[in-house]
Every structure is written in C-alpha cells, then in structure tokens.
Chains A and B, each alone.
Chain A
C-alpha cells in the first residue's frame, strides 16, 4: 500500500537542467519464466512532450510500464534517469519520489469501495486521526472537480462504467498535491473503454498537463488518437524497440507497418441482410438504464450498438442476456417466446454474452485459458468424466481461431490485455451461439488482431449467428457493422445502415443531432 505521497519531491535543486530528458532508459531487459518480456529497450523522452508507446498485443508495453513503476524487477544492467537524476528501477517508492505517476491497464481500484475511498486510499486520508466521511468526500470532490470529472463520489466503483472507472484512476494517480515539480504521467491504454466525448475530455486534460510542463507517456491501439495527441512514438515489437520517431514523420499506413512489420488489408464491407430470417426479436425491453427498446436481429447479421454513456446501450446487452433484471418486455428467439431469467437460461438458449469488464466480469484471472474457455459449456466425455487432455483438444482450435499462441494451460493473468480479450471471444465463439452479444469485443486489441477478430465475427455470422456488438469507436462500427443502432435516454433513437452508416453520422446520432440520411422511428 502506498503511503508515501507526501514524500518531498522536487525539494531543492536536483541538478536538473532544462535540457535533461524527462525519462531516459537504457539497456532495459525483463525475462519472464515463459521467456518473453523485454529486450534491451532504450527510450529517451523530452520534457513537456507526449510520447505514444505502440505495438502489438503482448509486445511488452505494459511490462515496460510495470518495470518503470516498480511492479516488476528488471534484469540486471538497466539504467534510468529522470530529469538528469538517476532512478533505481524496480522500486515503486523510488518511481513515485522521482515524480512518475501511473495508470495501469487494470486500473488498480477496489471495486467494492466507493469513489471517495478509492481516491483517499491512493493519497492517504487527511491526517487528523479522526476519519470524517464528509471531509473525505469534499476532498475527493475537489480532486475530481480540478480535472473536470463529473462523478458522484459516493458511488461504489463497481456501479460505475469502465469509462468512469478510468477517470477515477487517472484522478487518483494525479493526486491533489499542488506542487509544481514536473511529473511524468504514464497511461496504459486509458482510452480502451472510453467514448469519443470522454476521450476528448482526457485529451484536454493531457494538453493541460503538458502545458504545465509535465510529460506524458501513453499506450493506445487507436492510431487516430496518436496523431491527435502524441509528439513522438516508440514502437515495440516482440519486446524490442523498432522505432523512436516524431509523429510528424509518419502517416497512418507507415505507422501500421512499423507496428506490425506488414500492412493490413481493409475489412470488406458487409452485405445488408434485409431479408434474413429473424433470430431474435425483443419488444419494449425495460430495466436498468433502458427505458424502452425494440430490437430485431437477423440471421447472419452483424449489428453494432452505441450511444453516450448512460444512454442504455450498455445495459441493453445485459438485459438480453438475463444478467440484469428486466422490468418489462418480451424476447422471442426464432419466433418462440422465451423466458430468459438469468445467464444460465441465456446460454441454454444459445445466447452468448461477453461483458466489457474483462477482468472482473468476463474471465477468471487465476484460471487457465482452458478452464476459462470451457466454463459456459463444460465438456464431458463418456460417463461424465471431465478430463484435462480431452478438454485441451476441445479448446485448441478456438485458441487458434483467435490467434492466441499461448498454451491452453497458461494462466489467463499471464497474458497481455489484448490476448485476454481474444480468449474471452474464443469462449463465446465455442458455444456455437445463435446470438452473440459482445461488449467492446476489440477493446485493447491491436490493429492486426482486430482484423482477425472481425474476420472471426464474420465467419460466425456467415455460419448463421446474429452478432450484436457494442462499441465506443465510431470507425470500428462504420467499418464492421452491417447496421448500427444508436440509443439515447434509454431508447433506440436511430438506426444507420448502408450509405448513411458513416463515422460522421454515428457521432451526430450519439450526440442526438439529426443525422444526414434515413432516420428510424
């Protein structure tokens, strides 16, 4: 537990000259028991700039950040400097005292506590010997206000959306000390769960921090963001640095090639299946943040769903899967009225549901890939004997399908974030569902692998499944979906397809501005 926030930082002259890099790392390697990790990484970041750290899933971005943060010990031989002062790697205290601040991919918040406690735990409670709830709440509120974040500080963390949780984690890492010493703020995929509006908020914050003289290092798989916010990029491939370059020298395609070592072809546009037989029909659904929603999904269709935070587009999938209580409404599958009381019933009817919160809701981190994948439909051979080897054989093709190269017996927690996402997808593709409900299926997945996932979804659709996926990325929706449903205020307000399904129209529709083109009732 970190209780060293008030340690003196930037007190007195530290030999820092204006030209000394905000971070300089040389010869950094990290070997895991499995072998992979980092190889001889060199990075130098100029103060007051934004550096994007890019690379495929499992290339070592999070590992690099965790070594900086002192979560992992590096192999011997690495050196690091912050503003000209030596930084001893592998010590979380040292990193903090040097002014490094981290927002890890898994956020590191406690989901059963409220926002106030999560913020206070990070920065130690006001030191008065008497813990006053209202004082802590005011402090937490001030902290959020300072960064323009609108969240009720009394909410429990697990009642917040992933996006809101990210904002809390950022606020917590930045802390409320007003010292003017420059900091290096490291964000590991902060936007993976954020909406465009919130990304803008985060970018505003990053610009502000940068203007105050801070330096930012930032991991993302969304390349458009890199061009919007970064000054330089560092690209990792298989644990080694392949490029340190200014963004100005690059365009989208050359960046993709740097990351992948190859180019990616675009996704073929989907055909519109207007006359496909209806698989799922929901009428007047109501529950959680959904006020009333009608929805039909046809065989072989890939339908996107989006909206602003709290518009109900996230909860609609929970309702369809029986994962949140439904107050009203009916669901028909293949023309038959069905009662979906809980996810067990949903799975029984061939409805697969993968929520966005990978770590907490869609996986068991301490289990192997094999056990995670088979959980919804545990295989049994003759005499109901569950055998490891048969299970292994069962799981293997699905791992291959999503291109995960780890052994089925590895623990899920040893996979990189993007690869975990692929395992979750493999789990649900495996049950051969009629309806696939996926939240943010490519969150944290790299450019090359996104393409693989889209292809896998197309194949599932071609095999007769109906796919409904939520996404906060308009480009993905426009590129992958045959049709996109936009919700606002708990109701379906717009449906876009064909020529009107464009990034522009999607953003307009989410913001409830009239789109150019057709408009559904």
Chain B
C-alpha cells in the first residue's frame, strides 16, 4: 500500500513531448495536419530519390536496403523499448549502456566463461531487465528524477561493462548465437524479423491494451491518472523494466551479429534511439510516442546517413545530419501545431497545460 504523501497524486516527473499540442492537427483533419503527419514518408521518399539520382549504382541496390534494415534492426528493438518509459513520462538514459552491458555479458560468459550460449544469453537479458527494475525502483518508489537516476545508472553500468570485459574484445561468440542473429530465412535477414515482431508486440501493448492506455495516462497527467484509479507508480516501474528488457535483448542480438564484442559498443545507440522516439512523435500519431512513427524515423535517418556515406561523406556528417534532422522536424511540428490551434496563437503562460 503506497499512500502518496501530502499531495493528491503520486508525483511522477514527465517526459515532455515536444509536439504534444500537434495532436489536434491529426484529429482535426486539417490538410496541413495530414501533410505533417505523413511528412516523414515524403521526406524518406525524397531522400531515396535524391541519393538514387546522385549515386544510383551503389544506393539503389538490394544490398543497401538490406544493409540499412539489418543495421537498424537493433536500434529499432532498443528504441521501441525506450518508448515505454517515455510514454509513462520517464527518461531512461541508461538504456544504451545497458545494451552494451548485455552484449559484453553474453560475450564474456559464452567465451572465456565457458557457459552455454543460451544460458549466457538468458543471464544477459535477465541482468538488463534487473537494471531496468532498479531504475524503476528509484524513479517510482524513491521518486527521484528519472534523468538523474538513469544518468547515475549509466555510470555504474559503464563500470560494470569495463569490469566484465576486462577492457578487451570478447569473441568469437559460439556459432549458435551468431546463427541466431545472422540467419537469412528466405533471403530475409532474421534480425529484421525480430525487430518486426518486437515492434508488433509493442504496438499491441501500447495501443490496444488497457496497460498501454494507462501508461500513456501516467505520462500525460500523473495526478489526474492517479485520481482516475491508475496505479501510476506501478506503471512507471513496469515501463522501466520493459525498457531494460528490450535493451538486454538488443544487446544479445547485437553481440551475435558482430561476433566479437568490444567494451564500447553501447553509447552509440543513445542519440539515435532518443532522436527516433522524439521524431516519431511528429509522425503518424502526432503528439504521442508511437511505435510506427519511431520506426519510420529510424529508417529515414538511416537512409539519409547511408546516402551521405556512399557520397563519400565523413563520419561527422552523420552526426550533423542526425542532429539537424531532429531539430528541424520537431520544430516544424511544434510550430504548425500552434498555428492549427488558433491562426496565430500568442500563448501566455498557462502553466501545466503548455508543453
């Protein structure tokens, strides 16, 4: 029994959705809203056309397409997991390092540890899920700000990763694990199938179960949700557990894919995952963290980056592209949402309601 302290509701800090007002344009059915809602698809198409024209021999190939899909499958899995904590109003900054931790654990256990591949994989995923539960505990029971809690957890996981890996590459992984990540049934990379299954499961949970509805309620207005009978604390906790589980799964699959795991593979998933989740709030279901919008964003960003690489761009171009795309897309969404609301709104400080 958790009686909230003095206030009426369990205080839960909220992840602000940059485009939360833009939901009107989706429902209102204004043509501008519709355009924006699917802008990701148009931009994606434009990127393909432009690079297709610039570097047709290398860009417009099946190889490039499957390459992007396979590379991004891991990002999709971890980003879809991240959606759960974002939907419930929490930030899990530790999920990228958690992914790296799981990869190192499975690689170490199954090589120098001499354990079986499945046992190693299960232990890695279980540990990552436990990390999620610890995050959830601090955020929903102790009630510290989720940014702080998971920032601290990132640091702890970094230490644990270094310790377990002994600062060395661990590999090669057993065949069973590599096969699990690299098989191509009927020519389709199996990682892509995994990503699709995870995405479909997440979509079902978030959009079509009471659990998902209550998660979103917890993120949208924790006090009102609590008073409407939602156990906001439990839902926030559960969301961190799910994010941790997805990070573990992604880590193990990634380890199998690359076959040999270094101590530094986690952090590179941080920005793309967050960027995709927030970009995703401008797409398909504007104003809401949503699965298909997130996946569309991941593919869009990856296609752009791939094109730039094939053009001979250097690494920094990739980072610049990711950052600029995020800023631009979210700004456009926020501004046009404001327009849709009232011609030209001059918003005064309306406290809570203003995102």
Contact = CB atoms under 8 A, between A and B. Distances in A.
A378 B228 contact: no
Contacts of B207: 386
Nearest to B28: A33
Contact of A71 (B5, B229, B348): B348
A368 interface: yes
Interface in B1-43: 1-9, 20-21, 23-24, 27-30
A296 interface: no
A344 B230 contact: yes
Contacts of B162: none
B28 A34 contact: yes
Interface in B328-355: 340, 342-353
Interface in B247-270: none
Interface stretch (B69-77, B213-221, B302-310): B213-221
B228 A376 contact: yes
Contacts of A342: 1-4, 226, 231
Nearest to A63: B342
A68 to B, nearest CB: 12
A355 B23 contact: no
B127 to A, nearest CB: 30
A270 interface: no
A108 B349 contact: yes
Contact of B1 (A341, A364, A386): A341
B344 A90 contact: yes
Contact of B227 (A323, A339, A380, A414): A323
Contact of B342 (A72, A321, A347, A384): A72
B210 interface: yes
Contacts, number: 153
B89 interface: no
Interface residues of B, number: 50
| B24, B230, B231, B352 — most chain A CB neighbours (10 Å) | B352
Interface string A320-345: 01011110000000000001011110
B217 A375 contact: yes
A289 to B, nearest CB: 11
Contacts of B5: 325
B224 A341 contact: no
Contacts of A343: 226-229
A353 interface: yes
A365 B287 CA distance: 13
Contacts of A376: 228-229
Contacts of B228: 343, 347, 362, 375-376, 427
A72 B341 CA distance: 9
Q: Which of B24, B217, B342 has its CB near the most chain A CB atoms (within 10 A)?
A: B342
Nearest to A322: B3
A359 B9 CA distance: 14
B80 interface: no
Contacts of B27: 368, 409-411
Contacts of A69: 348
Interface string A258-297: 0000000000000000000000000000000000000000
Interface in A53-111: 69-73, 90-92, 106-111
Given A34-B28, A73-B342, A341-B1, A109 B351 contact: yes
B213 to A, nearest CB: 5
Given A110-B352, A323-B8, A386 B209 contact: yes
Contacts of B28: 33-34
B231 A71 contact: no
B31 to A, nearest CB: 11
A73 B229 contact: no
A348 B229 CA distance: 8
Nearest to A409: B27
B225 A72 contact: no
B227 A364 contact: no
Contacts of A321: 227
Given A33-B28, A342-B226, A360-B223, A380 B209 contact: yes
B349 A110 contact: yes
B229 A344 contact: yes
Contacts of A362: 224, 227-228
Given A110-B351, A318-B8, A371 B213 contact: yes
Contacts of A106: 350, 353
Nearest to B204: A385
Contacts of B220: 364, 366-367
B210 A380 contact: yes
Contacts of A375: 213-214, 217, 225, 228-230
Contact of A1 (B3, B20, B221, B349): B349
A159 B8 CA distance: 10
Contacts of A121: 349
B8 to A, nearest CB: 5
Interface string A15-39: 0000000000000000001100000
Interface in A125-163: 157-159
A395 to B, nearest CB: 13
A224 B350 CA distance: 30
A92 B346 contact: yes
A363 interface: yes
Contacts of B3: 325-326, 341-342
A139 to B, nearest CB: 19
Interface string A366-403: 11100100111110100011110000000000000000
B287 A366 contact: yes
A2 interface: yes
Given A71-B342, A361-B223, A366-B21, A111 B349 contact: no
A380 B205 CA distance: 13
A473 B210 CA distance: 38
B8 A361 contact: yes
Given A342-B3, A380-B210, A361 B353 contact: no
A204 to B, nearest CB: 27
Contacts of A371: 213
Interface in A307-328: 318, 321, 323-326
Contacts of B208: 385-387
Given A366-B23, A386-B207, A325 B227 contact: no
Contacts of B7: 158-159
A318 B7 CA distance: 10
A435 interface: no
A156 to B, nearest CB: 9
A414 B345 CA distance: 14
A416 to B, nearest CB: 15
A171 to B, nearest CB: 16
A378 B213 contact: yes
A45 interface: no
Nearest to B21: A366
Question: Which 7 pairs show the lowest CB-CB distances between chains A and B?
Answer: A347-B229, A73-B343, A378-B210, A325-B3, A341-B1, A110-B351, A375-B228
Interface of A: 1-2, 33-34, 69-73, 90-92, 106-112, 121, 157-159, 318, 321, 323-326, 339, 341-344, 346-348, 353, 355, 359-368, 371, 374-378, 380, 384-387, 409-411, 413-414, 427
Interface of B: 1-9, 20-21, 23-24, 27-30, 207-210, 212-214, 217, 220-221, 223-231, 287, 340, 342-353
Given A90-B346, A360-B221, A368-B27, 6 more contacts: A33-B28, A73-B345, A107-B351, A159-B7, A342-B231, A360-B223
22 contacts: A34-B28, A70-B346, A73-B343, A91-B346, A110-B349, A110-B351, A112-B352, A318-B8, A325-B3, A339-B1, A342-B231, A344-B230, A355-B8, A361-B227, A362-B228, A365-B353, A375-B228, A375-B229, A376-B229, A384-B210, A386-B213, A413-B353
